[in-house]
Amino acid sequence: MFQLLHFQLEDQIATITLQNGKVNAISHELIAELHQALDQAEQAQAVVVITGQPGIFSGGYDLKVMQSGNEAAMALVTEGSKLSRRLLAFPTPIIAACSGHAVAKGAFLLLSSDIRIGVEGDYKIGLNEVAIGMTMHYAGIELASGRLPASYFNRSVLCAEMFDPKTAVSAGFLDMVVPEAQLAAQAQGLASQLAKLNMKAHANTKLKSRSDFLDFLDEAIEKDLSGTL
């Protein structure tokens, strides 16, 4: 059923492992499969763990699409923003198990998750859009503004600073860092704890606490529909 990710549902935990090439590029096809996997997780009321391959969580959007013209690039960015919006409002907890580098949309997936676990190592995490000639889209600015500490917003969004995993905790992209060999066990253990939550209460509280944020994000996505990168 899935070609660009692996999906496993066990003990109320849905583990989604991205496997789209060496950089786990975020393409239209991968986004579609992510939605299908999320549909199954939502139906099962399962806690979601999103992870990548060893050394790479995701390097961001598919460059072939992003370099094929503004219309195609904005269409992919819009679909990615809608995915982030869904993750932020998802009725069960979302854990990002960041297995290595997380760049651009890869880092935005971290900002779209409830709890983010990174791994020790020489990995880079952050938003490099400005460094590679892309004007940050409205939804990206809104996501960063809503999840990053003010002291790191300019460094991340305006200056495209990249962070190692430990600094990424202070910057707001990660919540904790563990040895690489412990990532899967740490994520699964945390997911098992979260699976004991009352999911109705979790979902309602998430929507209440993020109501304004989600409204601003919806407005930003609409602005991007008529914008350029």
pLDDT digits (tens, 9 = 90+) for 143-184: 999 999 999 999 999 999 999 999 999 999 999 999 999 999
Distance CA 84, CA 74 (A): 15
**pLDDT bucket at 229, cuts 50 / 70 / 90:** low
Residue % of the chain over a pLDDT of 90: 95
Q: Tell me, what's the pLDDT at 221?
A: 96
Buried b (16+ CB within 10 A) or exposed e, 164-193: bbebbbebbbbbebbebeebbebbbebbee
Q: Tell me, what's the pLDDT at 228?
A: 66
Distance CA 191, CA 15 (A): 10
**Is residue 1 pLDDT above 90, yes or no?**
no
- CATH class of segment(s) 5-182+196-225: alpha beta
The overall average pLDDT reported for the chain is 96
Tokens, residue 174: 């990660």
Q: Tell me, what's the pLDDT at 227?
A: 73
Task: Report, as an integer, the average pLDDT of 185-197.
Answer: 98
Task: Report, as an integer, the average pLDDT of 71-90.
Answer: 96
Among candidate residues 113, 117, 89, the one with its CA nearest the CA of residue 178? 117
**At residue 228, what is the residue type?**
T
The full set of domain ranges for the chain reads 5-182+196-225
**Full-model pTM:** 0.96
What's the pLDDT tens digit per position in 83-115? 999 999 999 999 999 999 999 999 999 999 999
Q: Which residue has the tokens 């990710």?
A: 5
Task: Report, as an integer, the average pLDDT of 26-49.
Answer: 98
Lowest mean pLDDT segment, chosen from 68-72, 88-92, 191-195, 212-216: 68-72
